[in-house]
Every structure is written in structure tokens, then in C-alpha cells.
Copies of this chain bind each other. A is one copy, B any other.
């Protein structure tokens, strides 16, 4: 698979794929005789895995840390599990925060001519 195909499949640009490789978030991809990247299935799986961690809100730095640990083998399983558990707590917190925001927004949409206006209008009055 060429970088263009992978780009199409993953939604990442070719530049981003090269960038992820440069910073060590995905392994160094094998090149063909002309030096052109040739992605295999396991590369694709790793990219998808990494994208899931990213969508879960992990920073690239944490993902790299995770991938580095995975490279080192089974001895790092505990450390990786710990990273995932941290991430789990993180996600749970963010879901609760988003639910709170959703409630607020629903409320604002429903009661559109009360609090939204008064929240901002009052402050704005002071400018006049």
C-alpha cells in the first residue's frame, strides 16, 4: 500500500503519516527499491490502533510512550496497562464533563430568551 492509499483509508494526509513516522508514533515503514513507503497490513492495524487512542484524547506524546513500551515487549505489559487505566479515568471524566455541557446547552436552547441573553447582555450593557 502506498502512502496515498493509506491516506485515503485512514483520513490522514500523507504529510501527517510521514510526520507520525518521524516522531515515532508509528514504526519506520519499509521502502521499495525506489525508496517509496510500502505499508503492510500490520502497519495499517497499528495506525488504526493509534488513531483510536488519539480519538480517545491521548496526546501524541502518550501514544508514543505506549508504542515504545510495546516495542520493548511483554516485560512492559504492566506499564502499558497503567497507561490505559489512566486514559480510562480521563475518558470517564471527559464524558461526564461533556454531559454537563450538553445539559447546559439543552437548557439554553429550550429557554432561549432567558439566561443566554441575560448572561451576556448584562456585561455588554457596561460597555455602552
Chain A residues at the B interface, C-beta cutoff of 8 Å: 26-28, 30, 40, 42-43, 45-46, 49, 52-53, 55-57, 67, 70-71, 73-74, 77, 80-81, 84-85, 87-88, 91-92, 94-95, 97-102, 104-106, 108-109, 112-113, 116-117, 119-127
How many copies of this kind of chain does the complex include? 2
CA distance A67 to B55 in the complex (A): 29
Name the distance in Å between A4's Cβ and chain B's nearest Cβ.
20
Using known A-B contacts A74-B117, A113-B77, determine if residue A40 contacts B95 with beta carbons closer than 8 Å: no
B57 in contact with A116 (CB, 8 Å): no
Q: Find A88's partner among B70, B109, B123 (CB 8 Å cutoff).
A: B109
B119 near A105 with CB under 8 A, answer no
Cβ-defined partner of A120 (8 Å) among B56, B67, B94, B127: B67
